[in-house]
C-alpha cells in the first residue's frame, strides 16, 4: 500500500507512520515529492487493516496496491477453473460449452416443476434452477415449499438428468439442501452472510455465488475467497444486476463484469438476465449479449404460466420463449467459437 | 394497485386483466382514458404479487399504491414507539432525550473495552457498542473474540451500567448473544438475512436494525416488519449510510431518511455517523446534523487508540473527541427542544 | 396521472384535488378504496406539472401514467427511424447493417488523424469520430484544436469518404461545426444543455446524442424530444455508460438500454464501449455484446499511439485491435441476421 | 502519481514506463515489492494525462496522489473565502452569519415575486432566488419569463434590498443576466458546461455553482477551478442533492459534503434542501441539519401558492413555513456559535 502524507506534514509524523508500518512487520520506502511525502509499504499487506494508518496524524490517505483476495485471483492460478455441475448430463461450467441452467423462480408443485424441467431439458438446458427456500422482501409473501420443494427438484432430476441448482438461505438449511442439490446457490442478499459462506465452503458440492446487489467486484471475489478458504474451490461467480438509479429495470446488468472477472480471477462467470433486468421482454437480448461478452453459463427463469407464478412472474419467460432464446444463443456461441 | 394497459390494447386484454384481478379476490375499476385504459384495483393487495399482472398481455406496468408493510407503518400505529435500552441506566430511544450509544468497533481485550466504556459513560453515553462477532469483508481479517468478547461487554456493563448493544451475525449465535446483550444488533449486510430477522423476532430483547447498504426505505421497513411479525415490536431503525458513487466517504449518509422514516413509521431512528461516513474527521459534524434532523439516537465508534484498533480505526474517534462531540450535540439538542 | 390521497383524508381534500384537476382542463375519476381514495386523472396531462398536485393537502403522491415525450415515442411512430450518416460512403444507422464509427478521442495533428482514418476505413468503419472541441473536466487539460481540428477531419473525409462525427459543445460553435461535420455530436455533459439542444435541433444535420452520465431513459428521450421539437428528427441515441458505485470501470455500460430504447422509441441506438468502460481491454467484448443486444451502431475510440494520446489513452484501442474487433463483430452480426 | 505494474511484468516494461514518465518531464522512483513493482512519479503531475500510462504494456493501474485542482484548494489558500452577495443588505457568505437566500423556483409575475420577496425579507432572508431562464427536462414545460423575469427580480431588489441570485443557462445569456443579477447561478445540469463556466469566470459578479447531480467533489471543485482560472474567485459551492437509487426523495442530500468541502477547499458551501430532497415536508429538517453541519448559506424555494406554482410546487414551502424554519435555524446557528 501507499501512505500519502498531507502537504507540509512534519518529519515526526512521517517517522510515526514508518514506525507503525514496521510494527505491522512490513518494510517502508519513503519518497519525498515536491508537494507531498509518500510512504510506500513493501511486503504482503493484503491482510493488514490499512485503516489503522489512516488514523495516524499527518496521513491524508492510504492507497491499497495488492488485491485483498488470493485463492480467487488469477495471479495465483493461471488456468481457468472448470466446475462440473453434476446430474446425469455431467455438464461443466467454464469450458468451451456455455451451460444453461433454467427453471422456475420457486418450486410450486409437482406438475409445474416437471413440466418446466422437461421443457428446458428438451431445449438444451443442462441444469434446473428452482427455489425451495425463497428469500422474500416481504414477510407475508410465499416463502417456498422447503423440503417438499427439494424433493420435487430431485424427482425432476431423476426424470430429466438435469443438475439441480437451488438456493440455501441459512446455515441450518445447508445439510438438508446439500442432500438434494447438485449445486448450492448463495443468493445476492446473502453474499456477505459470512457464516453461510463458511458453511457452504465446508461442503463438497459446487457453489453458485450471486453478486450482492451493490457489491464491488472486490467484495464479490472476497466472498468467493471465504468459500474457497474453507476448502471448497468449486465456485461459480454469478452477476445478477446491480442497484443503480435506473428505473426501467429492476437491476442494471453490468456485463463488463464478465471480461473483468475473467481478467482478475480464474473462476467461471455466470449471468442471470432474469434477475439482472426483472423484465421478461429484456431476457432474450441480454442472454445473447452475455454469451457474446464471454459468459460461461446462463441461469434463466422459465415458467409455464407466468401470470400465475407465485413469485417473479414479470421476469419469467415461457418454455416457448426459452426454446427460441436457446436457438438464438447457439448462433452467438458459434460466433465466439463456443457452443451451447 | 393500478394496472396501466399499453396504448391500443384490445378489450379482451383488459378483460383478461379484470379476470386475474378477481382471481386474486380483489375488485376492479376500469377507467378508459384518451390514450390508455387503466384498471384500478380496489382491496388489500398489499401481500399480492403484482408482478403476476405485469406478465399479462397488453399490460404496460403495474403501479403499487399501498405500502407493503403494516406493523411498522404509522398508518396503523400513530403513537411513536419508545424502546427501552436496558442496562442500569434505563435509557430509552424515541422520547425527548437523544440516546448516545458508543464504543469500539470490535471488543479487543479487557482493558480496551473497560477504558472506553468508562470514558463514554462519563461523557454521557447510555449504551455501549462493541462487536464480539464481526462481519468482515475479508476472510483473513480479525473476526472478533466471540463469547469472550460478550463476557467483556457484560463486565463493562456491570462496571458502568451502560446497556450493551452488540451484533448477532447468524441464527446459531442468537441464543448466546441474547444471554449477554441488552440490544441485539442486526448489521447492514444481514438486513435481508430473513432467517436471522425471524430469529431475533422471537427474542424478548430490543433490536437495532441497520439499513442495508443499498436498501430502499421500503425494504428497510419490510425487514423491520419481519422482526415485528414474529412478535418483537421493539425495533430501532438505524441509517448507516448508503452506497453511491461518492468516493470521499465510505458511504453517503442519507439524513433525509430521519424525517421520512418518522413520517411513514412509528419506530425510532438511530444514526450511525461512523459507518455513515467512514472518516473520523466527519463524525462530529454528522452527529450534530443528525440531532438537528431529529434523530432519536446516535451510535458512534470510539477507540482509545485508533492507530492500533483491530478494525475500523479510520472511522473511530477518541474518547476526548467523543466528549467534545457530546458537548456540541447537547447544544443542538436543546435547540430542537430535546436533550442528550 | 393518478393522485393517491393519504389514508383518512377528508372529503373536502378530495374535492379540492378534483377542483385543481379541473382547473388544469382535465377530467377526474374518483375511486374510493378500502384504505385510500385515489383520483384518476383522464386527459393529456403529459405537459402538466404534476408536482402542483403533490402540494395539495391530503395528497400522498402523484403517479404519472403517460410518458412525457411524444415525437421520440414509438407510440406515435411505429416504423423505425433510419439516419443517413453522410460522407461518400452513405452509410445509415438503424437498418440491417450495423454502422461502426471510429477514430481518435481528440484530433491531434494531420498525420495522426489521417493514419487513423485510413486504418479504420480499411477495417470497415463508415464514420470517423474525433474531437476538435473537447469537454475536459480539468481546465488545464488539452481542450482540442478547434477549427484546425475540424479542417483535419474534413481532409480525412475527403481522403477516405468516411462521415465525420464530431462534438459541438456550445451554441456559439454550432455554425462552425455544422460547416465541417456530417453528424453533430452532443456530449453526455451537455445532454441537458437545453439551449444547445435547441440549437442543434435547428440544423439540417443528424445528431448523435449521448446519454448523460446519470440520466434516466425518460430524461434521455426528453433531450431527444428537445431536438426533434425544433424540427430535426434525425437523432441517434448513444448509450455511453452510466455512473454507479462500480470502480473497475469508468462507467457502467447499461446494455439493457438497447432493447428498452427500441421498445419505447423508434430512434436508432448507438453504443460507445470506449467511454462506456474506460478500459481498452474491455472494449472488444463490449462491442460484441452490444451488437448481440441489438445495437444499430458502435462508436469506438481508436488511436495509433495510445501511450502518447493527448486524451483518453486508457480507453483507446489500436488500429490492429480495431481490425480484429471488426472481424469478431461481423460474426456476431451474422448471428443476429445483420451485417457490419 | 503511482504506477502499479502487473505481477511478473518484465524489467523492459518497467523501463518503458520510466521512459514515458521522463518524457512527461517528471521524475521516477522505482520500488520493487515482493509481488509487484511500483513506479512512484515525483513532480507536479496534476495536469498530466495519467491515462496515457495506463496504456503502457505491463501497467495494472495508475493511482493519482495530487488533487487536480489548485486555486480552489485549501492547500493553496488557507484562509476561507468570504463572498459578498450584493444588494443593499450587503450580506456575505462564508463568515459567522449563515446567509439565507429564498424565493420562488420561477419568476411568474409581478405580484408573485414581490409578495414572496417581501415575505422572505421580513423573515430574515438576505438574498432572493428566482429563475427567469429555467432549465426544464421537458421541452413543452414553462421555460421562464426571460428578461421580463429579470426585470421583476430587479424590481424586487429595489423594494426589499435583497441580493438577486438567478440562473444563467447559456453563454448568450451571460451579458443580460449579469446586468440584472447580483449573483450568477450555474445550475446542476450545467456544472460541466465548460464554455459557460469560462464565460461566468470572466464576469465581476459572484457565482453560485451547483454540484452536478452525479458529480464527484473533485469534478465539482474542478468546475469551480474553471471559473477561478478565468479570474473570478468569488465562487460559492452549492450541494443540491445527488442522484442515487433512493426513491422517497428526488435527490439524496449528501450533507457530509459540507465538512469535506471545508476540509479540502477554502470556498464557502451553500445547501439547497429544496432541490436536495424534492419534498417540501423534508425542507425544514434538512435546513436545520445543514446549519448544524456547518453550511455557510441556504438557498430555499418559497412560493406563496405552491399548488399553482408553474414549476416545482412539490418542493416549495410557504412564506409561513419559511418564517418558522428561520426561527428554528436561528436556534441551531446559535448552538454552533453562528447566527442567521
pLDDT digits (tens, 9 = 90+) for D276-303: 999 999 999 999 999 999 999 999 999 9
Minimal Cα distance from D69: which residue of C?
Answer: C138
- Quick one: pLDDT at residue A53? 87
- CA A303 from centroid of its chain's CA atoms: 23
Looking at residue D114, its pLDDT comes to 98
**A vs C: CB pairs below 8 A:** 121
Q: What is the pLDDT of residues A118-142, one digit of tens each?
A: 999 999 999 999 999 999 988 988 8
Per-residue model confidence as pLDDT tens digits over C140-153: 888 999 999 999 99
Q: C229 and D139: CB-CB below 8 Å?
A: yes
Give the mutation candidate from D13, D49, D53, D104 for the C interface (greatest C CB count, under 10 A): D49
pLDDT at D18: 94
- Cα D148 from Cα C301, distance rounded (Å): 46
Q: In the 3-class helix/strand/coil scheme, how is chain B assigned residue by residue? A: CEEEECCCCCHHHHHHHHHHHHHCCCEEEEEECCCCEEEEEECCCCCCCCHHHHCCCCEEEEECCCCCCCCCECCCCCCCCCEEEECCCCEEECCCECEEEEECCECCCHHHHHHHHHHHHHHCCCEEECECCCCCCCCCCCCCCCHHHHHHHHHHHHHHCCEEEEECCCHHHHHHHHHHCCEEEECHHHCCCHHHHHHHHCCCCCEEEECCCCCCHHHHHHHHHHHHHCCCCCEEEEECCECCCCCCCCCECECCHHHHHHHHECCCEEECCCCCCCCHHHHHHHHHHHHHHCCCEEEEEECCCHHHCCCCHHHCECHHHHHHHHHHHHHHHHHCCCEC
Mean predicted lDDT score pLDDT of chain A: 94
- How would you write chain C as a 3-class SS string? CEEEECCCCCHHHHHHHHHHHHHCCCEEEEEECCCCEEEEEECCCCCCCCHHHHCCCCEEEEECCCCCCCCCECCCCCCCCCEEEECCCCEEECCCECEEEEECCECCCHHHHHHHHHHHHHHCCCEEECECCCCCCCCCCCCCCCHHHHHHHHHHHHHHCCEEEEECCCHHHHHHHHHHCCEEEECHHHCCCHHHHHHHHCCCCCEEEECCCCCCHHHHHHHHHHHHHCCCCCEEEEECCECCCCCCCCCECECCHHHHHHHHECCCEEECCCCCCCCHHHHHHHHHHHHHHCCCEEEEEECCCHHHCCCCHHHCECHHHHHHHHHHHHHHHHHCCCEC
**What part of C 125-184 touches D (C-beta under 8 Å)?**
135-142, 169-172
Of the ranges A137-141, C23-27, C57-61, D125-129, the best mean pLDDT one:
D125-129
C-alpha cell at C79: 416504423
Could you read off the pLDDT of B160-182 as tens digits, one per residue?
999 999 999 999 999 999 999 99
CB contact under 8 A, B336 and D259: no
D256 and B260: CB-CB below 8 Å?
A: no
B41-69: pLDDT as tens digits = 888 877 777 777 888 899 988 888 888 89
> Which residue in C292, C289, C242, C298 sits closest to C269, CA to CA?
C298
- Output the nine-digit C-alpha cell for C285: 467484448
- What pLDDT is recorded for position D67? 84
CA distance C288 to A291: 9
Q: What is the CA radius of gyration of chain A?
A: 23
Mean pLDDT score, C249-260: 98
Helices marked H in chain D: 11-23, 51-54, 110-123, 147-160, 174-180, 194-201, 217-229, 257-264, 280-293, 319-335
Q: For residue A329, what is the enclosing H or E element?
A: helix A319-335
pLDDT over 80 at C240, yes or no? yes
Partner D contacted by C313 (CB < 8 A): yes
Taking all residues of chain C, what is their mean pLDDT, rounded to a whole number? 94
Report pLDDT for A314. Answer: 86
Sign (positive/negative) of CA torsion D180, D181, D187, D193? positive
Instruction: Establish if A283 touches chain C: CB-CB under 8 angstroms.
Output: no
d(CA D89, CA D104): 19
Taking residues D70-96, what's their average pLDDT?
A: 94
Question: What is the arithmetic mean of pLDDT over B326-338?
Answer: 98
- Who has greater pLDDT, A99 or D63? A99
Residue pair D250/D275 in contact (Cβ under 8 Å)? The answer is: yes
d(Cα B15, Cα B266) in Å, to the nearest integer? Answer: 40
Instruction: Collect all residues of chain A within an 8 Å Cβ-Cβ radius of residue C263.
Output: 281
Chain B residues whose beta carbon lies within 8 Å of the beta carbon of residue D288:
292-293, 336
Identify which of B238, B43, D51 has the alpha carbon closest to the alpha carbon of residue C309: D51
pLDDT of residue A17: 93
- At residue A183, what are phi and psi to the nearest 5 degrees? -130, 130
Cross-strand pairs, D322: none
**Closest Cβ opposite residue A314 in set B54, B171, B308:** B54
Three-class DSSP category at A192: coil
Q: Residue A64 above 90 pLDDT?
A: no
DSSP conformation class of D48: S
Q: Specify the range with the lowest mean pLDDT, choosing from A178-187, A209-218, C54-63, C275-284.
A: C54-63
Q: What span, in angstroms and rounded, lies between the C-alpha atoms of D339 and D146? A: 35
pLDDT given for residue C277 in this prediction? 97
For residue C274, the chain A residue with the least C-alpha distance is: A256
- Grid coordinates representing D81? 473565502
- Best mutation target among A212, A239, A250, A255 (most C Cβ atoms within 10 Å) is A255
Burial class (CB in 10 A: 0-12, 13-18, 19+), C231: exposed
Q: What ipTM was predicted for this assembly? A: 0.95
Model confidence at C48: pLDDT above 80: no
Give residue D71's pLDDT: 95
Kindly indicate the confidence band of residue C53, based on its pLDDT and cuts at 50, 70 and 90.
confident
**Beta-carbon neighbour count of residue A49 at 10 Å?**
20
Chain mean position to CA B95: 18
Chains touching chain A through at least 3 C-beta pairs below 8 angstroms are B, C, D
Whether A245 contacts C216, CB under 8 Å: yes
For residue A36, what pLDDT is reported?
87
The count of other CB atoms within 10 Å of the CB of residue A36 is 18
In angstroms, the CA C118 to CA C110 distance is: 12
Per-residue pLDDT band for A8 (boundaries 50, 70, 90) equals confident
Q: At residue A28, does pLDDT exceed 80?
A: yes
Please give the mean pLDDT across all residues of chain D.
Answer: 94
Say whether C63 and B35 touch across the interface (CB within 8 A): no
Chain C contact present for D307, CB below 8 A: yes
Task: Give A-chain residues touching B55 at CB under 8 angstroms.
Answer: 280, 306-307, 309, 313-314, 316
Write the pLDDT tens digit of every residue in C174-199: 999 999 999 999 999 999 999 999 99
Q: Contact at 8 Å (CB) between A129 and A165?
A: yes
pLDDT of residue C64: 85
C-alpha cell at position D196: 459557460
Residue D317: which pLDDT band, with cuts at 50, 70 and 90?
Answer: very high
Rounded distance, CA D340 to CA D332, Å? 9
- What local confidence, expressed as pLDDT, does residue D43 receive? 84
Asked if C304 contacts C115 with a C-beta cutoff of 8 angstroms, the reply is yes
Minimal Cβ distance to C42: which of B34, B43, B243 = B34
β-sheet bridge partners, residue B235: B207
Q: Quote the CA–CA distance of C282 and A317 in Å, as a whole number.
A: 30
Per-residue pLDDT, A197: 98
Lowest mean pLDDT among A240-249, B91-100, C3-12: C3-12
Closest CA to D209 of D168, D171, D174: D168
Residue B197 has pLDDT above 90, yes or no: yes
pLDDT in tens, B105-162: 999 999 999 999 999 999 999 999 999 999 998 898 889 999 999 999 999 999 999 9
What whole-number percentage of chain D has pLDDT above 70?
100
How many beta carbons lie within 10 A of that of residue B232, not counting itself? 21
Across the interface, do D137 and C222 touch by the CB < 8 Å criterion? yes
Percentage of chain A modeled with pLDDT above 90: 81
Interface of B with C in 31-50 (CB under 8 A): 31, 33-36, 38, 40, 42-44
Whose cell is 443468493? That residue is: A187
| pLDDT at res. B51 | 73
> In the numeric block, which cell numbers belong to residue C339?
451485417
Amino acid at each position: 500500500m501507499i501512505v500519502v502524507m498531507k502537504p507540509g506534514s512534519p518529519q515526526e509524523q512521517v517517522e510515526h507512520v514508518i514506525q507503525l508500518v514496521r510494527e505491522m512487520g512490513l518494510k517502508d520506502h519513503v519518497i519525498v515529492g515536491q508537494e507531498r511525502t509518500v510512504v510506500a509499504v513493501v511486503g504482503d499487506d493484503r491482510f493488514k487493516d490499512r485503516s489503522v494508518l489512516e488514523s495516524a496524524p499527518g496521513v491524508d490517505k492510504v492507497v491499497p496496491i495488492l488485491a485483498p483476495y488470493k485463492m480467487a485471483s488469477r495471479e495465483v492460478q493461471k488456468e481457468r477453473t472448470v466446475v462440473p455441475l453434476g446430474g446425469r448430463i455431467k455438464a461443466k461450467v467454464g469450458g468451451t460449452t456455455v451451460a444453461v441452467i433454467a427453471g422456475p423462480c420457486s418450486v410450486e408443485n409437482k406438475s409445474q416443476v416437471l413440466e418446466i424441467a422437461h421443457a428446458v431439458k428438451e431445449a438444451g438446458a443442462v441444469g434446473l434452477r428452482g427455489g425451495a427456500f425463497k428469500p422474500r422482501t416481504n414477510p407475508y409473501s410465499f416463502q417456498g415449499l422447503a423440503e417438499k420443494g427439494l424433493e420435487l427438484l430431485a424427482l425432476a432430476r431423476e426424470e430429466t438428468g438435469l443438475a439441480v441448482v437451488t438456493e440455501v438461505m441459512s446455515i441450518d438449511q445447508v445439510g438438508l439442501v446439500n442432500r438434494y442439490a447438485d449445486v448450492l446457490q448463495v443468493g445476492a442478499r446473502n453474499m456477505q452472510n459470512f457464516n453461510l459462506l463458511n458453511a457452504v465452503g465446508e461442503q463438497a458440492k459446487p457453489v453458485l455465488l450471486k453478486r450482492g446487489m451493490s457489491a464491488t467486484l472486490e467484495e464479490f471475489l472476497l466472498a468467493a475467497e471465504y468459500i474457497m478458504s474453507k476448502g471448497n474451490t468449486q465456485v461459480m461467480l454469478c452477476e445478477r444486476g446491480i442497484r443503480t438509479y435506473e428505473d426501467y429495470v429492476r437491476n442494471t446488468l453490468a456485463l463488463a463484469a464478465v471480461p473483468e472477472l475473467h481478467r482478475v480471477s480464474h473462476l467461471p462467470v455466470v449471468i442471470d438476465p432474469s434477475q439482472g433486468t426483472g423484465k421478461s421482454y429484456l431476457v432474450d437480448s441480454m442472454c445473447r449479449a452475455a454469451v457474446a461478452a464471454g459468459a460461461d453459463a446462463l441461469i434463466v427463469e422459465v415458467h409455464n404460466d407466468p401470470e400465475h407464478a407465485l413469485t417473479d412472474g414479470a421476469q419469467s419467460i415461457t418454455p416457448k420463449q426459452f426454446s427460441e432464446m436457446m436457438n438464438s444463443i447457439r448462433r452467438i456461441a458459434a460466433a465466439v467459437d463456443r457452443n451451447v
